[in-house]
Amino acid sequence: MRLPIAREGLPIVAVCAVLLAAALLWARDGGWGARSAAPAGFAVLALFVTWFFRDPARRVPHGAGLVVSPADGKVMSVEAVDGEAFMTGPATRVTIFLSIFDVHVQRAPMMGRVRRYSYRAGRYLPAWRPDASSANERATLGIETEAGPVVVRQIAGLVARRIVTYPREGDRVAAGDRIGLIRFGSRVDLFVPPDWVVAVQPGDAVRGGETVVGRAADKAPAGAPQR
């Protein structure tokens, strides 16, 4: 079975494969020490990099007003915020932490059109810190959907040093579409209107493009709880 790899990872995987081949050639004359250990070390590195950049297919749920998770990881917090990330007025922010063991491809939470995109250089604070959302390197997409605006913010972490975002202003996206990637440990913030129902809570594990994290207010069942 072929392991899908994100396109940004292909050059790095290729470099690791070349290094592994060189190590095997160096070690073929035998002897103990660095010569014998090098192939094993580069093999582990190649396997890790290949696994890190995996990009598995996801089964995107369909339903009126569903909001799917933009990232794999663990929900750190669900909280009310004001005046952030292209939202006019209050919003609910769902913060997802991605460890180096999670898939690092991000996905669109809903179908819509990208109305705004911004990138800001910044610091590399640990992604779990509250101020990482406004202090760290970050890229932000504002998506206008039929139900209202949603915003996805990709945030670099302590180890992450590169954010890639595919869509730009005017592009259309479908729920579950790949919208970018962050390398090596990071955080993704999702902003939705404050009256939308949020279906996750801190500690929940989520899968990008697959886990339902909320529903638009006018699409929510009557009496649905607001977390």
Active site residues: 186
Q: Which amino acid is at 37?
A: A
Q: State the CB neighbour count (10 A cutoff) for residue 6.
A: 19
Give Cα separations from 57 to 5, 60, 74 (angstroms): 11, 9, 19
Query: Taken in order 172, 174, 191, 179, is the CA torsion positive or negative?
Result: negative
156 Cα distance to chain centroid: 10
By the 8 A CB rule, do 72 and 208 touch? yes
By the 8 A CB rule, do 75 and 226 touch? no
Q: Which amino acid is at 115?
A: R
141 Cα distance to chain centroid: 13
Distance between CA 61 and CA 26 in Å, rounded? 50
Give Cα separations from 7 to 42, 49, 105, 161, 209 (angstroms): 21, 13, 10, 17, 18
Sequence length of the chain is: 227
Q: State the CB neighbour count (10 A cutoff) for residue 76.
A: 17
